[in-house]
Structure 1
């Protein structure tokens, strides 16, 4: 569907993360961290699970039982949050540790200092199945068999064999779903909207659509136009969560998050000309991007800047 997008724009749709696998289906949520000490078990498969020490927001330490891992996906809520409930289409912000059952840690955001910000659908299916229905602010233990993890190929680079069960301790920091929106009272820039070329319809704070009138000139450079200016913090380098819709210069839609129900994560950096123009634009704003042709036709994107997780 988006095979002809310029490379930088394609990153919106295909960003890979440490826990990304060939199988995918996941979700996340938003809310405050709970107090430590609460513990409940849900959807366990009947086997003994590892014990976990450490509170929400702190690096966990796992101790594995002498018995083998469950044959099926098992989930244990170690700390229950009080935020919004995760859905399978959400973008999740999470801290986590991943460890082979009885073996080595293969990934930890506590070591990298950077939480993941990604759609659950882009992660191993055990995340989606185990985190759907959980609340933001929760710490959740996932025991993930190969079928819900990296599959029959394993992940040799991370020391995960095809037969390994892998275990994650996930702190659900935040999440954004279909209801994530820009600022409804963002201030319009009528002059910018009148000269933008591509036409954006729909009030701020709600779904937007994008059309290309006949004769709209093809951009030679990336053009960033603020159509409605929000009052949030200015965008900085990093990942930005937004709702978006796009069309290429052949008039073909390249998709709409308002239709799919899953926001996008935009990689903003001064070295990436596609999104560099978002730096300094207030969160809550609606922005039009015009991107010149690369390996395919030029594209236009309308983006509502929802949030920038810390």
Structure 2
């Protein structure tokens, strides 16, 4: 049985395309009940068309304008790579970071797009967290690619459609997808190294090979009474807000003995959570820090689990927790 992260107060919801049309659909709210699962969908035959023309915004990263579908759509999954990227390939189980626009084949009605929100969406790909047409079409595509999809109903939202987004049970969906990046269990922060000169604070390793960094507790030093949050690697991404959901790698040890008690590296899976879902020390320690950074956080008991640590864990009510956190992306 997989051990649940000690970090999370409640599980963070995985985004799904089932929430398309809702402005908050890609901000950590799960709507998986209205989305066909990958396991329930047939394996698609993939063809290269037909797909509608893009009339404006033809460059990678530009919001596209897409024409109506040309006549009758294929009953198969149509996938056309418009721009071939030069990055690594998207793998099953990766967190895919992508900009996209979705519209209905025969009306060209746009029901959702990430471009207007000003940030790409991030979600697991190939594992049933998004509509099957996405899972089956995007695995294997290269980072930096622009891909156009025409998805038949059975690989989209099925016979029930998605009424909230104006999608009927017989609607063929058209998507233009810009593959921005991917993240997986081997991902690390890639920021600039920041000097760790304070001899009273733990030292965190600066390796960026996807392996867990070392955390060295200073010998003979008392734990700080207040919260400590310092860059180890400083990224150049957006600053994290208190209301954001983030995708991270992390490792936690106890100040008193340096013993590791939790680690996403050990589980070999990334962790996502809203800053309102975690202990106060995490929320306060990550707010204002930049995406792409590795951060040292030392959390006193009052900002951790207080007098109510999780039963059976090595964390006691007087334990100071020390974390290395790689902020990979904002969700």
TM-score, scaled relative to structure 2: 0.63
Q: Which has the higher contact order (CA 8 A, sep 6+)?
A: 1
Distance 1:162 1:269, change over 3 A: same
Question: Could you list the per-position Cα deviations for residues 4-28 of structure 1 after superposition, in whole angstroms to 9, with x for gaps in the alignment?
Answer: 98975412x5345645643456xxx
User: Aligned ranges for residues 113-152 of structure 1 at < 5 Å?
Assistant: 113-120=118-125, 121=127, 122-152=129-159
> Which residue number corresponds to residue 14 of structure 2?
14
Matches within 5 A, 1:152-231: 152-182=159-189, 191-193=200-202, 205=208, 206-208=210-212, 229-231=232-234
- RMSD of aligned alpha carbons: 4.4
Structure 2 unaligned spans of 5+: 21-30, 39-44, 214-225, 254-260, 316-320
Q: Say whether the 8 Å CA contact 1:241–1:266 is kept in structure 2.
A: yes
What SS does the corresponding residue of 2:47 show, helix, strand or coil?
coil
Structure 1, unpaired ranges of 5+: 26-42, 195-199, 210-222, 248-252
Cα deviation for residue 242 of structure 1 reads: 1.6
CA spacing shift, 1:61–1:146, aligned 2, 3 Å: same
TM-score (norm. length: structure 1): 0.66
Question: Deviation per CA, 1:226-259, whole angstroms, max 9, x where unpaired?
Answer: 5982233484224533224689xxxxx9883654
Counterpart position of 1:285: 294
User: How far off is 1:191 after superposition?
Assistant: 4.8
CA distance in 2, matches of 1:6, 1:265: 11
Question: Secondary structure of 1:133's match?
Answer: coil
Residue correspondences, number: 271
Larger Rg: 2
Alignment partner of 2:235: what SS? coil
The corresponding residue for 2:23 is none
The answer to whether the 8 A contact 2:212-2:251 is kept is yes
What are the within-5 Å matches in structure 2 for residues 287-302 of structure 1?
Answer: 287=296, 291-292=304-305, 297=310
Is the 8 Å Cα contact of residues 117 and 265 (structure 1) preserved in structure 2?
no
Change (3 A) 1:190 1:164: farther
For residues 161 and 174 of structure 2, the distance between their equivalents in structure 1, rounded to whole angstroms, comes to: 14
Q: Kindly indicate whether residue 83 of structure 2 is the aligned counterpart of residue 74 of structure 1.
A: no
